Amino acid sequence: MDARDRERASQALALKLAGVDWQTIATKLGYPDVADAVLAAGEIADEQYDGPPLDPERMLEALRYDRLQAALWGPAMKGDLAAVDRVLTIADRRQRIKRLHRRSDE
């Protein structure tokens, strides 16, 4: 993947993490079809994701949680209690999606 394709794939991933549907992403970024957009974004997602193996949808959700937490980390570390609460909620959800959180009856 050359630099131009890599940038376009990164944009596709960013749009998907923001909740944009694949057809819109493919059209907006000039991919010939949805499958090409999915594959390109998937390559970048694989590089960015650093957890246990997950199916693609769970991986995307884990990456969303990572970005949300990063956005709230500064305010949380400065004592914003609402941000602290959000960070803790995001951390819990990330653990659940990565299946790191186990119920006590398991």
Residue 78 has a pLDDT of 98
Tokens of 78: 């400065």
15 lies in the same domain as 60: no
Range of 34's domain? 1-48
* pTM for this prediction: 0.78
Q: Tell me the CA distances in angstroms from 94 to 19, 27, 41, 47, 57, one per residue in order.
A: 17, 31, 20, 18, 13
73 lies in the same domain as 44: no
The CA dihedral of 81, 84, 89, 95, to the nearest 10 degrees, is: -160
Tens of each residue's pLDDT in the chain, 106 residues? 899 999 999 999 999 999 999 999 999 999 999 999 999 999 999 999 988 888 888 999 999 999 999 999 999 999 999 999 999 999 999 999 887 655 544 4
Residue 65 has a pLDDT of 95
Residue 100 has a pLDDT of 65
21 lies in the same domain as 40: yes
66 lies in the same domain as 40: no
